[in-house]
Amino acid sequence: MNRRIRSLPVLAVLAAALLAYPAQAASPGNDPAALAKIRDTAMASDYAWERTADMTDLIGPRLSGSAGAAAAVTQVAEAMRKLGARVTLQPVKVPHWVRGLESAELVEYQGRPSGISQRVVVTALGGSGATPASGLSAPVLVVKNFDELKARGAEVKGKIVLFDVAFDQHMADRGLAGQAYGQGSAYRRDGPRLAAELGAAAALVRSVGGASYRLPHTGSTGLVDGARIPAAAVTAEDAMLMSRLAKRGPVSMRLLLTPQNLPDADSYNVIADLPGSDKPDEIVIVSGHLDSWDLATGAHDDAAGVASAMAVLETLKKLDYRPRRTIRMIAWMNEENGTRGARGYLAAEQANADKHFGAIESDNGAGRPFGLRASVPAASSKLFAPLQAALLPIGAGVFQRQDALSTGDLSGLERAGVPSFAPLLDTSSYFDYHHTPADTLDKVDPDHLRRHVALMAATTWFLANIEQPIGRANVPGVN
Ligand SMILES: [Zn+2]
């Protein structure tokens, strides 16, 4: 019982509420019928679709520090208050990077007819430095990997280095999109910094993603203060063009990028609690991240994830199901270029980490779900059989145990021993839109999104009510 309820009028209102909702008196726990009801209720609702539409169509891009990010905090907090959740805004300081002008053209190459230059499609990487206001012109050095950069280290000084590394769509088509992304994004993350250390004037990376359509894919890069050279992604088509021209002879580019790295800005994680009945101090997190890149509306990345987490609370409210443990919806701020929201939460909750029973984040788009990825001890896998059974009818009964999920916002909690979970999704086309201007609401399939919510809601409920301990995550290399 809430200790703040002391006055008689409030007690009278509470008594009336209990009479109106007798189901609350006896929580259904992990009864198979309750799990099925949660699944079916989620499958019949478009709440997550509506919240995704609100975030993308009404606000648009939500990069940390922007007006869009601030509007998203307000919008999500209001929607959660409307559901009756206990809402807290947790302050965090976030990086504030703002895109400027960006253009590039190839001004010299073997066989160039007089008067011809070739426009190249570029977009600055988050954290990039700026060129002079009038741009810079320099020879281009194309490398295929880090080894080639090292071998040709003496040639780097003063050049614009292009890392021409293709995204492996074949891997993505066969269920290994995350791995394909990891291979490519290593060049986006580390390439510009390594080129800067060798004296490069600027660095370019081939866009990390499939379905090129001459779309640039942005993302953050790991440049450090004092060596913040201009860094941008070029489209796959333009990277291939530059590679072909470089085989003919020397290539030179004129590059203009004018982003600004501003002082850190004030922002928030949005936290919405549905208090537990008999173990309110134990917490199950269900989450997504509220910020997005600035090129598009971040429908897949990650409005759909946040909206699905919000829809978990809506589903349980509709059924008037009260969990044993507290269910905590978190819309994380700043996953994309700093994970300051997750770091801030962990710093505030470090002493309380063992009270976190489990944590879910959806941050791989809203493709059709096949099941659940889980960082739980191997011996605990069998405990999830009733959950798998409930999700089998919607094709989401797979349980994939891993030692660590290492997703952006949950990795700190995971290292602190909190078992973490993520939907196992069809991601074969996720990296077509990811971090591009094309990540818009029309790419989200409402049916896939309903299945997504059904998976998240059933999983959250299951974790919030399971009797047996599932043990702690045991991330390799961490005690
Ligand atoms: Zn994301």
pLDDT digits (tens, 9 = 90+) for 384-410: 999 999 999 999 999 999 999 987 899
| Phi/psi-derived region of residue 298, left when phi > 0, alpha when psi is between -120 and 50, beta in every other case | left
Burial class from Cβ neighbours inside 10 Å (0-12, 13-18, 19+) for residue 281 reads exposed
β-strand partners of 332: 289
Question: What pLDDT does residue 115 have?
Answer: 97
Contact 30, 466 (CB under 8 A): yes
Fold of 23-97+263-465: Aminopeptidase (3.40.630)
Strands (E), 352-405: 356-361, 369-375, 398-401
Neighbours of ion ligand 1 (CB under 5 A): 301-302, 363
Strands (E), 244-401: 252-257, 260-274, 279-289, 325-332, 356-361, 369-375, 398-401
Distance 346 CA to ligand 1 centre (A): 19
Contact 455, 400 (CB under 8 A): no
Distance 25 CA to ligand 1 centre (A): 39
DSSP state of 126: B
Report helix, strand or coil for 476: coil
Question: What pLDDT does residue 476 have?
Answer: 61
Residues of the chain with CATH 3.50.30.30: 101-258
Question: What pLDDT does residue 10 have?
Answer: 46
Distance 461 CA to ligand 1 centre (A): 24
Question: What pLDDT does residue 473 have?
Answer: 80
Distance 365 CA to ligand 1 centre (A): 8
Distance CA 105, CA 153 (A): 24
Question: What pLDDT does residue 20 have?
Answer: 41
Structure tokens at 171: 């891997």
Distance 423 CA to ligand 1 centre (A): 13
DSSP state of 123: E
Report DSSP letters for 90-107, one per residue: EEEEEEEEE---EEEEEE
Residues of the chain with pLDDT under 50: 1-25, 478-479
Distance 115 CA to ligand 1 centre (A): 43
Distance 335 CA to ligand 1 centre (A): 7
Global pTM value: 0.93
Contact 129, 260 (CB under 8 A): no
Distance 421 CA to ligand 1 centre (A): 15
Work out the number of other CB atoms within 10 angstroms of the CB of residue 179.
Answer: 12
Work out the number of other CB atoms within 10 angstroms of the CB of residue 28.
Answer: 17
Question: What pLDDT does residue 373 have?
Answer: 97
Burial class from Cβ neighbours inside 10 Å (0-12, 13-18, 19+) for residue 12 reads exposed
Distance 119 CA to ligand 1 centre (A): 30
CA distances from 371 to 267, 365, 422 (A): 33, 14, 9
Distance 301 CA to ligand 1 centre (A): 4
Of the residues 282, 335, 336, 414, which is catalytic? 335
Question: What pLDDT does residue 26 have?
Answer: 56
Peptide bond into 302 cis (omega under 30): yes
Residue 150 exposure: Cα atoms within 13 Å on the Cβ side: 3
Distance 456 CA to ligand 1 centre (A): 17
Distance 336 CA to ligand 1 centre (A): 6
50 catalytic per annotation? no
pLDDT tens digits for 285-332?
999 999 999 998 999 999 999 999 999 999 999 999 999 999 999 999
Contact 404, 414 (CB under 8 A): yes
CB within 8 Å of 56: residues ≥ 6 apart: 297, 298, 299, 303, 440, 441
pLDDT tens digits for 403-443?
999 878 999 999 999 999 999 999 999 999 999 999 999 99
Closest CA to 453 of 313, 319, 273, 357: 313
Residues of the chain with CATH 3.40.630.10: 23-97+263-465
CATH number of 101-258: 3.50.30.30
